[in-house]
Structure 1
Amino acid sequence: MVAILLSIALATLDTAIANTALPAIAADLKASPAASVWIINAYQLAAVATLLPFAALGGVLGQRKVYLGGLMLFVLSSALCTFSWSLETLTIARVLQGLGASAIMSVNAGLISSIFPPERLGRGLGMNALVVGTSFSIGPTIASLVLSVASWPWLFAINLPIGVFALVFAWNSLPVVKPGSLTFDRVTALLNVLTFGALIFALSQAAQLGSLAGVLIALAVFLVCGAAMIKRETGHPAPMFPLDLLKRPMFALSALTAFCSFATQGLAFVSLPFFFEATLGRDPVQTGFLMTPWSVVVAMIAPFAGRMSDRYQPGLLGGIGLALLCCGMISLATMPADASVVAIAARMVLCGIGFGFFQAPNQKALMTSAPRSRSSGASGTIATARLIGQATGAALVALSFGISSEHGPVLALSIGAGFAAVGSIASGLRLVTRNAV
């Protein structure tokens, strides 16, 4: 379990650190802001496009092999990032790093479910949520501290000793699972990569206000390849795109709840810095401190919520949590311009409590509503819903700013409240839904 938590911390920290260090990296590599965004996009595209294929591979070869291979690739690519000398070489290294992170995330929840018995699974997933929340909250601080005393390559060099330690620990401790009887469908994997790669490209282009033609072409590729993938997998006993699991009402509602909640998070974390600085008149340092309570509270609440999910229904906990998140987003959107630091922090704490109450119970609902033999597919769905939700939220922030530059942050927060409300309703519906196909 220690190795799993370390690797997830690395993948989460890497995303937060790269976002914070992007201006410094662009300046050192003499890259334009528009071009340097590909340092982020390359990682995100590679991760989302390959999550489900790696999850399917985990069901064929065993989750342990996929996890160890992903961790080795992540460590190697971190070394390549450290020694990159141009935007092109760093972007290639980030693609490899995204692939490694994807392999780790695709089987993460599945491995946790194989370590913890069903009656204690919520506790294990709560620990995982604790690590994710803590890593997300301290990532910008670590990046700032490192950049104050060293150059940006050291941000990636940090991964090397931690990654090697996690690899050695995992090699000796992760459970060995016999390979499955199914085969890996390379054509379906390619269609999946094209489908989700096109979707994330379209969302990122929209978020960056790219060309309309590029967005439309990417959406067309997404629809055509997605339809071909679903048609090819019709009737498959363990499809890469989890159609069999999505036919289960409990699983489908849990996946919808996850997507809505992470879309809310994406809308909030992209729009709030603009809201605090442009609308409330706070400086960047104050903004950094004001963003902290959400993630810190999530990290504190997650283990408690995980333990509660072993006693109470995830639909109840998730519904309450997302209702609180909705109230928090509304309170932020309607906050007066002269709000005090205490008033802002209280609203961020409310959002953090709501999000923290949702995360671990919802992951448990996804894992327990799928057959044991499909734990890899369920694990991949968790990571896919999270990343696509966050990307959708970021794209909707760009749309909000396009509609109104002055009121864009408030509009984005309002849309986030709507997503949280839909997620709360979807979670509540699980209380009256049977897990039947």
Structure 2
Amino acid sequence: MKHISSKWVLALTSLGFFMSMMDSMIVTTASTAIRNDFGISVSQLQWALNAYNVTIAAVLLFGVSLGDKIGHRRMYNIGIFIFVVGSVICALSNNITILIVARIIEGAGASVITPMSMAILTSALRPEERGKGLGIWSGIGGFALIIGPALGGMIVAKLTWQWIFWINVPIGLVGIYLSQRKLPETSVKGAKLNVLDSVLIILASAGLIWALSESKSKNISASTIVIGVVSLILGIIFLIRQRKESAPMVPLNLFKSFPFGGGNAATFLLYASMYGVVFFLPQYFQIVNHSNALNAGLMMLPWTGTLVIVAPFAGKAVDQFGEKIVGIAGLAMQGIGYVWIALSSTPKTSYLTMILPLAIAGIGLSLAGPALQKGVVGAVEPRFISKASGIYNMFRLFGGAIGVTVSVIIFYAYGDAVSSSVFSLGFNAAMIGAGVISVLGVIPALGLQKA
């Protein structure tokens, strides 16, 4: 592949990843405006946010299997088109029901954008370039974490909340046009699409994540427990079928590889830790530091900003020192940063004391992300790359869902949202929990490849 083609591949695959990441972050600071406009409760509003992420996780592996069969570039462009259609419906929504349906459509498109972009990029780059390429890809996607909350607040302040969705339309259409012209087409010969397995994984994933989302409160309803148990049973049936299938959607034999299994387990813990902090940190800034949503987003910059600054260099470090050393260092640094914040934060503590540990945690995340990505996709044969990327992203999403749930359970064991001082106690406990989860990720990361 020519050098210029590699640049196009990196730019266009990163664009899709950026769009899908941006759309989950930009909504966070527009949520109050949406709630006021529709006159809905906070419990109703949460599904305008959760529907997107739940759909991504539920449809992910189905989209990967379909992409293997019809072509990764074609599936990538289909995903962007569906995402654009969902964005238009979101912008035109006049009630919460239509908005939730539109967010589900957006999530269905986004569910294939990330794994297809990862598969195209990994296939197009030489093995010695993958660490650097994935680092840049991760950094560009992580840039959405930086500007998403601030951009959402700015758009709502200057225009209306609908414009957070309208901006996806021209970007998506241009992305489809250029991807069709510049990206190589790849597929997996002999790939088959099993409808029953697809239905099982969609129902099991959606049900489990929904049950986890609903179990954040102290009182868990019987229906939530039933749906969770049924979804778990469906998941077990899915795994049993995968052991018997000649062309499984999830090749379980891949987990016999220590780098693959260890990389996915460490990914689960890395993002369980991170998403627990994402859930509470903006609330801490607003409740304890009395900041508005826009300022809370800006105060996260020492943490999120490292993703863009460090990730490209992290990719080079992975190529030079190996996934194992860089992954372990990143997981440890993230954990240390979160525990440091917990031990030093009180309602009277200055925000300035949080800048250094936030940066350390962000650097850790920026190091571990590319290392674990390369460890997972590099542990499989080329024909399994797209499936490996899909499995990796499933572990990332499930890790995030469970991480939020665990953090909320820890928070309510020690604190509550009744006052800034009581909230601070729960926040610090949740941060220690997030730190411990990240450090635990060091154990499975020991299975990664050395340099």
Instruction: With the length of structure 1 as denominator, give the TM-score of the two structures.
Output: 0.95
1:391 is aligned to 401
Q: Do structure 1's residue 15 and structure 2's residue 24 form an aligned pair?
A: yes
CA distance in 1 between counterparts of 2:187 and 2:343 reads 55
CA distance in 1 between counterparts of 2:64 and 2:351 reads 44
Question: Which one is further off, 196-205 or 268-277?
Answer: 268-277
1:58 is aligned to 67
Deviations 1:144-177 (A, max 9, x none): 1111111111110000011111111101111122
How does 1:197-276 map onto structure 2 within 5 Å?
A: 197-209=206-218, 211-276=220-285
1:92 is aligned to 101
Q: Which amino acid aligns with 1:49?
A: A
CA distance in 2 between counterparts of 1:376 and 1:168 reads 23
Residues 238, 374 of structure 1: 8 Å contact kept: no
CA distance in 1 between counterparts of 2:112 and 2:426 reads 36
Distance 1:416 1:273, change over 3 A: same
Instruction: With the length of structure 2 as denominator, give the TM-score of the two structures.
Output: 0.92
How does 1:265-414 map onto structure 2 within 5 Å?
A: 265-278=274-287, 281-284=289-292, 287-337=296-346, 338-404=348-414, 405=416, 406=422, 407-414=425-432
1:37 is aligned to 46
Deviation (angstroms), 1:336: 4.1
Deviations 1:120-161 (A, max 9, x none): 001110111111211111001111111111111111000001
1:26 is aligned to 35
2:132 is aligned to 123
Deviations 1:253-301 (A, max 9, x none): 000111100011011111223444555x443365333212111012111
Q: Do structure 1's residue 195 and structure 2's residue 213 form an aligned pair?
A: no
Deviations 1:314-338 (A, max 9, x none): 0110101111111111101101424
Q: Taking every aligned residue pair, what percent have the same amino acid on both sides?
A: 27
Deviation (angstroms), 1:221: 1.6
Distance 1:180 1:204, change over 3 A: same
2:433 is aligned to 415
Question: Which one is further off, 230-239 or 405-414?
Answer: 230-239
Deviations 1:364-405 (A, max 9, x none): 111110111111111101221221111112112221233222
Deviations 1:159-204 (A, max 9, x none): 0011111111101111122552132000000000011111110111
Deviations 1:79-112 (A, max 9, x none): 1111111111111111110000001123221111
Residues 192, 247 of structure 2: 8 Å contact kept: no
Q: Which amino acid aligns with 2:122?
A: S
Q: Do structure 1's residue 110 and structure 2's residue 128 form an aligned pair?
A: no
CA distance in 2 between counterparts of 1:72 and 1:382 reads 24
CA distance in 1 between counterparts of 2:297 and 2:198 reads 40
Q: Which amino acid aligns with 1:350?
A: I
* Alignment length (residue pairs): 432
Residues 62, 180 of structure 1: 8 Å contact kept: no
Q: Which amino acid aligns with 2:426?
A: G
CA distance in 1 between counterparts of 2:120 and 2:326 reads 24
2:169 is aligned to 160
Q: Which runs of 5+ in 2 are unaligned?
A: 1-8, 417-421
Deviation (angstroms), 1:428: 2.7
1:151 is aligned to 160
Residues 332, 347 of structure 1: 8 Å contact kept: yes
Q: Which runs of 5+ in 1 are unaligned?
A: none
Residues 206, 399 of structure 1: 8 Å contact kept: no
Residues 30, 161 of structure 2: 8 Å contact kept: yes
Q: Which amino acid aligns with 2:445?
A: S
Distance 1:137 1:210, change over 3 A: farther
CA distance in 2 between counterparts of 1:302 and 1:242 reads 30
Deviation (angstroms), 1:360: 0.8
Root-mean-square deviation (Å): 1.8
